[in-house]
């Protein structure tokens, strides 16, 4: 042993000496790490993307070295003395001295800028915009390791990176957390639920070397893993059960939530996970699941209020998709660029709209119906569809089969009523539905009629006998169709043949029904569609029969989920720059393209959302893998390796563990092939993760916030976890997965929204005790206890939940009926297991919650509560009955009092800091 120490001593001396000389040879100033933070802090708000005072900007290299208003460049490379940029920092004239009207830069800042200019003022790219490379693991040379001896504190490469920084800071790893705490941490992190007592005991007694690793692997394969990690992704996807804005009506989109859970459980590689969500509809012959995945971007809000301009909110949704995509995958605050070039990061104004162009060609138009939607048919209906497709395959063309299939499953492409204009004697009712009176008309402009020989219309009316004439070019133009309008029961789709007319035309719709009162509309219309003709005859069956079956399927009341569907060629939208970010002042037209600073758009990728998604998950993209690694890390450690989670670029804090971030990011792409589970596994197996989270005073002084990770993570559980855990330890939790969202008990009067008749109908049976991920989320009025614990209202993308600590949280876990019910169940377990001994009962309760034995002081405190409760309830047995919620006649007095006292102790246990915290 002594000899080993001696070897280590000499090695240390050698390393220290090498290190000393390395430091002596001063490295040149680095633009990204040394200079750019100073510029951002002091200069760029007046000399950047928004303002360019004095004609001088420090945002882009060409601007910084260009001539300023003075006619000379402010920075002379290699010559600080003659650079106005440097001279102004120390000028005696307050009118000249920079930063203007602000304190002078400190000496070290000025020294850095001076050195930078003298060294040639080399511009550099921020590390976040260069592709992560394979980083060398900082393994110190160790003879000990050569002979197979390894320090206990190091398990995998992650630990070497952490140790390297700890050494620099004079810190060291904490001991491994005790087994009970470690297992609870692991369970909460992987499946969001605590282990059972049995599982904990088994782990404590499992002496195998790989006992821990076995737990990691088996937890990763549980279906609850997907439920836990889904909450993280759904915050970013802004998934909710309502549409948002004022009306905030119901949106059936839970199929997307289930898709996320399944994809995570299957460990779908992140590149595929990305492509399916951003562009699943553009994949060749997309599966239903791939279409459901695109609901990611149908979680944008939809404004159903009367009088709203659908185009305004369609554009708002498209911009939200762009901003969200950049935020979720690239940690970039791209929304800044909507109005001006980015203040800090190298993104130009027009590049924002070039990205918008990728997203600006989907069929959704902020309609009340939330179209387009993927329709789910019954097996019988699917059979009809198959036979229709069979007939079309053998009688028509492959294209026809494709377009018929698309129409049957999505009712697209359709033209919404709000698209109509030039209304005569009619109106767009509630700015949604077209209602024209007898003799009135409306126009549909620029309809492509090439190959279109069928006219479909979704409408309703109480009175039949009306007609709709479709005329070309004017109300007196060629008659293309005369449609008889029957009375309907609710909405109905009808079809009419359309006279053949190639090309793009304005269509005039003339409505007639002399039998109705003058003020009444002939009918109300939601949408129109123009389809290719079915063949006149075909294999085995006749055209009329197929047409009838087709219409029947279209008219069926299918369940559905909103999805992305791209505009067909003849309905493409152009994209324009919005001057100052205002859609009402469009500027020049732009084509889809990605920002210059980032990786090139992949060769051969299509210039649409699919190509954009491929660009995001290209291994040349510098931000995607880093973003994912950083956010997974934050889920486990409570904080990312780079902060803030929403901004990786010049505004992020210089990361302490940048090499580790790059190492993990490179491995994620090249070793783990984008498998998130492999990444999580690697992190969880590190010794860094397994450390105890207890603070010692020395650590606190050196690193109060634990940035260097000399101890394990310790932070409050998420809103969902807190509820799930209380249900789990009391035995109430339902394991039921998937399906429509549920409505557990919430206080009366929480839902009070304008105009919508929606109400909270408390779920029954096990649906009251489902995991939080299945709780109904109404954006304007989310489940109150979740909001209290900082869950998102999911109106917009959220990458980082804040963690507050408020009295309202205390009131929730103390008094919310769900926690009282959990306390009641836990008390039952306590009484059963304690067998009449008070201390044993309390210990049992604590053990169920914390999975370890309590220290005596804690038992004393809880026992005191028990004594006081017992005393109090003995005097008021009726109060005891009220507390447990039973009829006092049904139980003996002692029983009543005893149960109530344990229930209050259980209530206290479920409120302990350690219970609400992952340690």
Indicate the angle between helix axes 676-685 and 624-637, nearest 10 degrees: 50
With beta carbons less than 8 A apart as the criterion, state whether 459 and 525 touch: yes
- Pick the stretch among 251-259, 457-465, 524-532, 863-871 that binds another protein (CB under 8 A): 863-871
Task: Please tell me whether residue 315 binds another protein under the rule CB under 8 A.
Answer: no
Could you say which residues in the range 500-559 bind another protein, by CB under 8 A? 519
Work out which of 814, 833, 839, 874 binds another protein, going by CB under 8 A: 814
Task: Please tell me whether residue 754 binds another protein under the rule CB under 8 A.
Answer: yes
Work out which of 214, 573, 864, 893 binds another protein, going by CB under 8 A: 864
Task: Please tell me whether residue 57 binds another protein under the rule CB under 8 A.
Answer: no
Work out which of 805, 832, 853, 893 binds another protein, going by CB under 8 A: 805
Could you say which residues in the range 419-478 bind another protein, by CB under 8 A? 427, 429, 435
Q: Is 785 helix (H, G, I), strand (E, B) or coil?
A: helix
Task: Please tell me whether residue 796 binds another protein under the rule CB under 8 A.
Answer: yes
- Pick the stretch among 57-65, 127-135, 571-579, 875-883 that binds another protein (CB under 8 A): 875-883
Task: Please tell me whether residue 858 binds another protein under the rule CB under 8 A.
Answer: yes
Task: Please tell me whether residue 905 binds another protein under the rule CB under 8 A.
Answer: yes
* Contact map string, positions 77 to 106, toward another protein, x by CB under 8 A: -----------------------------x
Residue 189, CA distances (Å) to 102, 129, 184, 329, 682 in order = 46, 30, 8, 22, 14
Q: Based on CB atoms, which residue is closest to another protein, 305 or 833?
A: 305
Task: Please tell me whether residue 808 binds another protein under the rule CB under 8 A.
Answer: yes
With beta carbons less than 8 A apart as the criterion, state whether 589 and 575 touch: yes
Token reading at 257: 């939530």
Could you say which residues in the range 647-676 bind another protein, by CB under 8 A? 647, 649, 651-654
Q: Based on CB atoms, which residue is closest to another protein, 30 or 451?
A: 30
Identify the burial level of 307 via C-beta atoms within 10 angstroms of its C-beta, where 0-12 means exposed, 13-18 middle and 19 or more buried: exposed
Task: Please tell me whether residue 23 binds another protein under the rule CB under 8 A.
Answer: yes
Task: Please tell me whether residue 309 binds another protein under the rule CB under 8 A.
Answer: yes
Work out which of 562, 646, 744, 845 binds another protein, going by CB under 8 A: 646
Work out which of 383, 815, 832, 892 binds another protein, going by CB under 8 A: 815
Name the minimum Å distance from CB 398 to another protein.
Answer: 45
Size of interface with another protein, in residues (CB under 8 A): 114
Alpha carbon distance 9, 3 (integer Å): 10
Rg (CA), the chain: 33
Q: Based on CB atoms, which residue is closest to another protein, 23 or 889?
A: 23
Task: Please tell me whether residue 804 binds another protein under the rule CB under 8 A.
Answer: yes
Work out which of 219, 337, 554, 820 binds another protein, going by CB under 8 A: 820
Q: Which residues pair with 421 in a beta bridge?
A: 443
Task: Please tell me whether residue 803 binds another protein under the rule CB under 8 A.
Answer: yes
Task: Please tell me whether residue 762 binds another protein under the rule CB under 8 A.
Answer: no
Task: Please tell me whether residue 826 binds another protein under the rule CB under 8 A.
Answer: no
Q: Based on CB atoms, which residue is closest to another protein, 245 or 534?
A: 245
Q: Based on CB atoms, which residue is closest to another protein, 76 or 315?
A: 315
The answer for residues whose C-beta is within 8 angstroms of residue 569's C-beta and 6 or more apart is: none
What is the per-residue DSSP string for 247-284? T--B---HHHHHHHHHHHHTT--HHHHHHHHHHGGGSS
With beta carbons less than 8 A apart as the criterion, state whether 458 and 527 touch: yes
**Kind and range of the H or E element at 685?**
helix 676-685
Task: Please tell me whether residue 200 binds another protein under the rule CB under 8 A.
Answer: no
Residue 278, CA distances (Å) to 296, 376, 413, 598, 616 in order = 7, 21, 20, 19, 10
Name the minimum Å distance from CB 30 to another protein.
Answer: 10
Which residue, 675, 710, 676, 672, is CA-closest to 693? Answer: 710
Residue 2, CA distances (Å) to 5, 9, 142, 143, 428 in order = 5, 10, 15, 14, 90
Task: Please tell me whether residue 687 binds another protein under the rule CB under 8 A.
Answer: no
Work out which of 4, 41, 445, 745 binds another protein, going by CB under 8 A: 41
Work out which of 317, 719, 862, 891 binds another protein, going by CB under 8 A: 862
Alpha carbon distance 878, 874 (integer Å): 9
- Pick the stretch among 83-91, 94-102, 363-371, 797-805 that binds another protein (CB under 8 A): 797-805
Which contacts of 634-638 are long-range, i.e. CB under 8 A and separated by 24 or more positions? 634/800, 635/189, 635/229, 635/232, 636/189, 636/680, 636/683, 636/684, 636/689, 636/713, 637/689, 637/709, 637/713, 638/713, 638/714, 638/715, 638/803
User: What sign for the dihedral angle of Cα 45, 48, 52, 57?
Assistant: positive
Determine the longest span between alpha carbons in the chain, in angstroms: 109
Work out which of 153, 299, 812, 898 binds another protein, going by CB under 8 A: 812
Work out which of 63, 206, 246, 381 binds another protein, going by CB under 8 A: 246
Q: Based on CB atoms, which residue is closest to another protein, 20 or 141?
A: 20
């Amino acid at each position: 042993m002594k000899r080993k120490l001696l070897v280590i001593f000499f090695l240390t001396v050698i390393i220290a000496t090498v290190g000393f000389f390395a430091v002596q040879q001063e490295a040149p100033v680095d633009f990204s790490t040394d200079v750019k933070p100073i510029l951002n802090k002091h200069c760029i708000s007046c000399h950047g993307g928004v303002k360019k005072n004095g004609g001088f900007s420090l945002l882009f290299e060409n601007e910084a070295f260009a001539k300023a208003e003075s006619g000379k460049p402010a920075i002379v490379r290699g010559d600080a003395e003659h650079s106005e940029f440097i001279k102004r920092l120390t000028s005696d004239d307050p009118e000249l001295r920079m930063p203007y009207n602000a304190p002078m830069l400190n000496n070290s800042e000025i020294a850095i800028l001076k050195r930078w200019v003298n060294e040639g003022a080399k511009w550099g790219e921020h590390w976040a915009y260069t592709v992560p490379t394979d980083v060398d693991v900082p393994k110190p040379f160790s003879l000990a390791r050569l002979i197979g001896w390894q320090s206990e504190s190091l398990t995998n490469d992650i630990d070497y990176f952490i140790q390297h920084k700890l050494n620099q800071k004079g810190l060291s790893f904490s001991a491994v957390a005790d087994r009970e705490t470690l297992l609870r941490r692991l369970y909460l992190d992987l499946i969001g639920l605590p282990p059972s007592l049995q599982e904990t005991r088994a782990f404590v007694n499992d002496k195998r070397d790989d006992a821990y690793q076995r737990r990691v692997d088996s937890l990763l394969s549980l279906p609850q893993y997907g439920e836990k990690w889904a909450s993280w992704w759904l915050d970013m996807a802004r998934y909710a059960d309502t549409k948002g804005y004022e009306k905030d009506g119901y949106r059936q989109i839970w199929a997307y939530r289930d898709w996320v859970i399944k994809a995570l459980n299957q460990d779908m590689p992140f590149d595929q996970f990305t492509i399916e969500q951003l562009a699943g509809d553009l994949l060749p012959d997309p599966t239903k699941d791939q279409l459901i995945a695109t609901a990611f971007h149908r979680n944008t809000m939809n404004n159903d209020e009367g009088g709203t301009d659908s185009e305004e909110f369609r554009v708002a949704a498209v911009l939200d998709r762009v901003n969200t995509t950049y935020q979720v995958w690239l940690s970039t605050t791209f929304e800044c660029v909507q109005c001006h070039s980015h203040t800090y990061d190298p993104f130009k104004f027009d590049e924002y709209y070039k990205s918008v162009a990728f997203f600006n060609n989907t069929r959704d138009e902020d309609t009340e119906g939330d179209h387009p939607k993927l329709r789910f048919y019954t097996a019988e209906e699917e059979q009809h569809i198959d036979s229709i497709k069979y007939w079309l395959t053998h009688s028509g063309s492959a294209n026809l089969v494709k377009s018929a299939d698309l129409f049957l499953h999505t009712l697209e492409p359709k033209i919404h009523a709000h698209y109509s204009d030039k209304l005569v004697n009619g109106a767009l009712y509630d700015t949604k539905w077209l209602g024209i009176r007898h003799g009135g008309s409306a126009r549909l402009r620029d309809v492509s009629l090439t190959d279109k020989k069928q006219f479909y219309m979704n409408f309703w009316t109480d009175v039949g006998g009306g007609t709709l004439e479709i005329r070309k070019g004017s109300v007196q133009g060629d008659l293309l169709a005369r449609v008889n309008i029957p009375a309907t029961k609710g909405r109905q789709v009808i079809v009419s043949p359309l006279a053949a007319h190639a090309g793009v035309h304005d269509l005039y719709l003339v409505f007639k029904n002399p039998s109705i009162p003058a003020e009444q509309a002939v009918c109300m219309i939601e949408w129109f569609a123009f389809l290719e003709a079915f063949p006149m005859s075909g294999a085995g069956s006749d055209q009329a029969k197929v047409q009838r079956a087709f219409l029947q399927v279209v008219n069926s009341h299918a369940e559905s989920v909103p999805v992305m569907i791209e505009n067909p060629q003849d309905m493409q939208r152009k994209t324009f720059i919005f001057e100052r970010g205002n859609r009402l002042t469009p500027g020049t037209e732009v084509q889809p393209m990605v920002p210059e600073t980032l990786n090139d758009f992949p060769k051969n990728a299509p210039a649409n959302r699919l190509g954009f998604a491929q660009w995001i998950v290209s291994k040349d993209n510098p931000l995607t893998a880093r973003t994912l690694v950083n956010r997974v890390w934050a889920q486990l450690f409570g904080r990312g390796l780079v902060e803030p989670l929403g901004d990786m670029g010049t505004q992020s804090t210089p990361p302490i563990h940048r090499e580790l971030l790059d190492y993990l990011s490179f491995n994620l792409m090249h070793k783990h092939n984008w498998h998130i589970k492999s990444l999580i596994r690697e992190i969880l197996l590190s010794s860094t993760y397994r450390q105890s989270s207890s603070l010692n005073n020395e650590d606190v002084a050196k690193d109060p916030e634990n940035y260097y990770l000399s101890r394990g993570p310790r932070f409050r559980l998420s809103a969902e976890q807190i509820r799930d855990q209380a249900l789990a330890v009391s035995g109430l939790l339902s394991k039921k997965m998937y399906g429509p969202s549920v409505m557990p008990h919430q206080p009366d009067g929480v839902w009070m929204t304008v105009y919508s008749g929606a109400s909270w109908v408390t779920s029954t049976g096990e649906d009251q005790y489902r995991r939080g991920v299945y709780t109904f989320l109404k954006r304007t009025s989310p489940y109150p206890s979740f909001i209290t614990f900082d869950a998102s209202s999911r109106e917009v993308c959220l990458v980082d939940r804040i963690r507050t600590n408020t009295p309202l949280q205390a009131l929730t876990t103390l008094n919310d009926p769900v926690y009282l019910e959990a306390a009641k169940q836990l008390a039952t377990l306590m009484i059963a297991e304690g067998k009449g001994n008070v201390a044993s009962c309390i210990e049992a309760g604590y053990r169920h919650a914390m999975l370890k034995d309590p220290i005596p002081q804690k038992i004393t405190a809880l026992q005191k509560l028990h004594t006081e409760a017992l005393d109090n309830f003995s005097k008021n047995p009726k109060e005891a009955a009220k507390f447990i919620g039973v009829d006092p006649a049904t139980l003996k007095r002692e029983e009543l009092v005893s149960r109530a006292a344990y229930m209050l102790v259980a209530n206290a246990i479920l409120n302990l800091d350690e219970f609400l915290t992952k340690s």
